Chain A
Amino acid sequence: MGALYNRAGNHHNDVGSHMSNSLTLAPAPRSDAAEQVRAEVREFLAAELAAGSFETHVDTWLGGVDPAFSKKLGERGWLGMTWPKEYGGHERSAMERYAVTEELLSAGAPVAAHWIADRQSGPNLLKFGTEKQRREILPRIAAGECFFVIGMSEPDSGSDLASIRTRAARNGDGDWVVNGAKVWTSNAHHSHYGIFLVRTSPSDSANRHAGMSQLLVDLSLPGITINPIRILDGGHHFNEVVFDDVVVPGDMLLGEEGNGWHQVTAELAFERSGPERFLSTYPLVAEFARRVGDSGDPAAVATLGRISARLLALRQMSLRIAAALDRGELPNIPAALVKDVGTTFEADVIEEIRKVVDVTPSLDSPDPLGRALAEAQLHAPGYTLRGGTNEILRGIVARGLGLR
């Protein structure tokens, strides 16, 4: 048999346990509170749809900006759900928040206005913000009245975030003077604030992650120009945000000077694990399910089953992350893995559905399935790029496997 040949199962201990430390999370407990709020959101959405307050679309957490809708969610206590009450939050669990966000996305509701503030900027402020910053801003986010944009990437810095060049330097008054440009800033033109990763010390080739800080910036400040960058379907969601000697008050540093890389990393579990990483194209799946229900075509029924199996697995993976967040963990590696699998799925459903329906995709199609296919297709390149490309994510997973 030779040295290569070992009893099947013997290696489970060493390699298996290594993996379980970094990649595998415990199953999520069932949450009655989550199911309760899920039912409430469902009822709300049915009423809103019936009243014609919104139309279902694909990828609405990028494209569906509707401040009035966000405000309604705030009024119902569905924003800032997990934050302390003293900051306008509702002290509910990540599992409950998961149920709310999942229902909103599955309905294709217009959630883009508040999405980043509620998901990421709020928790970031809670963790690193000053008391003044928290008191001023968090209650407004939770009310659905204050929207955020995140500025990390730059024209010359995509996945290689440590190479950013936007600079912030203290002036004589102790304020920050910012110069540079950020790109892919989703919905900057609808936002009140941005959290921007900037260089506050010159780059150091020996420590590429040093010298960066996060600045909290009021987007109405003089010297800020917001230029649209249109995506494939002509939609205006992305922007270039240009800083030309913008003076940001000294007390708007977020967290510690020089700690920007660490702070950005701490956001990632929030950014990468939620249901928006596998439900962006769910409205297409729902439209397909309606079609299959009418036709009964056996091949399409099987395809619907296969899509559903993948979706159900992703829900369980994402729920495990929500449960880990409730336990106070910051599961960045499992979050990267969920995002890789989930965003791959978002694009795959287009191909799966195409194989079994005879529909031409067009934004002008009289057929809702044709429109959903068109929307999903034209947004598809973004799924596996935004929030960390899948190649970057797989590199993180490989680290979790002990390979680097």
Chain B
Amino acid sequence: MASDQDLVVETVRDILTGFEPFVLTPERRWDEGLWSALAEAGLTGVGLPEEAGGSGGELADAVAIVRTLAAGAAAVPVAEQLLVAGPALVAADLDLPSPEEPMTFAVADAVTVHPVDNGDGPGRFTVNGTVTDLAWAGVASHVVLLAPASAGSDGALLALVHVADLEATDAFNLAGEPRGSLVLDQVAATGALLSAAQAQELRARFALARAVQLAAALEQVLAWTVQYAGERQQFGRPLGKFQAIQMELAEMAGEVTAVTALTDAAVQALDRGSADVVLAAAAAKVRAGAAVEVVARLAHQVHGAIGFTQEHKLHHLTRRLWSWRDEAGSDLAWSRVLGAGLLAGPDDFWPALTRVV
């Protein structure tokens, strides 16, 4: 993104350097110290309006923070909070929890949300059911859920639940990030009804958040691999002097550049409120996911055996890449959304394509 974000990037980097690399284990599910430092600096509310309790700033600022933290393999729910859950609450005119309390997002097809009249006026609900594959389960204090609306309605319900007291199951993605389940039994929620289109835009936001993280992590993996190829000597010269290695690094660079170009364009589409933001986000997610296979494979190939161990830092990002590409909607799911969406409109295929980004 543009250089306007340089300052925020520097701030985040300065904070990051104060923390040891965080090795996720079932006992250590997130980097609480890093989160506190980010929250203290107001960075966990960036892009959310000040009048709603956020720190203000633009979408581009929030994206820059998410990118920097993703490249740093930071174990904190910033992408979910700044790019998905927070903006969803603001758009639905619901009260934001304090940005210092970690918040996550889930598409929860298996929960039911019922309106209740407890005398506090409209917008009060009770939530029942199990939220599965929940990012930062057991870590986040609040979850913003996208749940099916009651039968007969084609919209969806957006519900904010406080879950700090609930126990999550032990389940983790390939990188060890918590992805457990949460059982909600008569849990009180504030909420709002979304149209089907709004619900799909929110799913797309989630996918785009992962695409932004993927783009940043892919760039970083390329940078690490270029650096390693320049430093590691074999047969009397750096690996990077071998043509075979150069071809692999160039192929990685092509993939990374493609992902960055499309992800930036999709973020801009979101920023200007494009009517095609769902397809733009789908495309960014699918393209980033496709790059993961090439970039992670070649990064490990160039790093050799040391990169295949937990001694070396590479796994912090490659394991995230392998997980993120199928989170927030799988590669297959978003490929179908994109293909079907391009075919569905009134236009021929080419005009539909050129309209997306």
Contacts and interface: CB of A to CB of B under 8 A. Distances in A.
B72 A8 contact: yes
Contacts of B226: 15, 19, 401-403
B342 A304 contact: yes
A316 interface: yes
A308 B249 contact: no
Contacts of B311: 1-2, 4-5
Interface string A289-309: 110110000101111111011
Nearest to B320: A8
A327 to B, nearest CB: 15
A217 to B, nearest CB: 35
Interface stretch (A113-121, A219-227, A392-400): A392-400
Contact of B349 (A1, A14, A286, A306): A286
A305 B223 contact: no
Contacts of A38: 354
B254 A397 contact: yes
Interface in B1-44: 2, 13, 16-17, 19-21
A79 B349 CA distance: 26
Given A2-B311, A397-B253, A403-B249, A8 B265 contact: no
Interface in B204-235: 219-220, 222-224, 226-227, 229-230
Contact of B230 (A1, A106, A313, A402): A402
A400 B257 CA distance: 13
A300 B351 CA distance: 20
Contact of B261 (A292, A300, A313): A313
Contacts of B224: 11, 15
B241 interface: yes
Interface in A192-243: none
B223 A293 contact: no
B300 to A, nearest CB: 15
A282 B268 CA distance: 26
A194 B21 CA distance: 60
A301 B246 contact: no
Contacts of B220: 8-9, 11-12, 16
Q: Chain A: interface residue count, which band?
A: 35 or more
Is the contact region of chain B dominated by helix, strand, or loop, or is it mixed? helix
Interface stretch (B81-89, B107-115, B161-169, B331-339): B331-339
B197 interface: no
Contacts of B350: 106-107, 282, 286
A202 to B, nearest CB: 30
Contact of A314 (B229, B258, B306, B337): B258
Contacts of B340: 301, 305
Contacts of A302: 332, 335-336, 339
A337 B260 CA distance: 13
B259 interface: yes
Contacts of B255: 341
Interface stretch (B128-136, B149-157, B279-287): B279-287
Given A289-B343, A306-B290, A404 B241 contact: yes
Interface in B245-270: 245-247, 249-251, 253-255, 257-262, 264-265, 268
A315 B264 CA distance: 13
Interface in A1-58: 1-2, 4-16, 19, 23-24, 26-27, 38, 42
Contacts of A23: 253, 257
Contact of B250 (A24, A107, A395): A395
B353 interface: yes
A282 B350 CA distance: 9
B118 interface: no
Interface residues of B, number: 71
B270 to A, nearest CB: 14
B143 to A, nearest CB: 27
A7 B72 contact: yes
A9 B216 CA distance: 10
Contacts of A2: 311
A379 interface: no
A301 B287 contact: no
A305 B338 contact: yes
Contact of A317 (B20, B261, B313): B261
Interface centre among B71, B250, B259, B282 (most CB of A within 10 A): B250
A308 B257 contact: no
B323 interface: no
A315 B338 contact: no
B312 interface: yes
Contact of A301 (B68, B339, B356): B339
B250 A401 contact: yes
Contacts of A304: 338-339, 342-343
A309 B338 contact: yes
A19 to B, nearest CB: 7
Contacts of B253: 19, 23, 337, 397, 400-401
Given A304-B343, A400-B253, 13 more contacts: A4-B312, A9-B13, A19-B226, A23-B257, A285-B349, A286-B349, A306-B286, A309-B335, A313-B261, A334-B257, A393-B250, A397-B250, A403-B241
- In the A-B complex, the 10 residue pairs with the smallest Cβ-Cβ separation, listed nearest first, are A9-B72, A305-B339, A394-B250, A305-B335, A305-B338, A398-B246, A304-B339, A316-B261, A397-B250, A309-B286
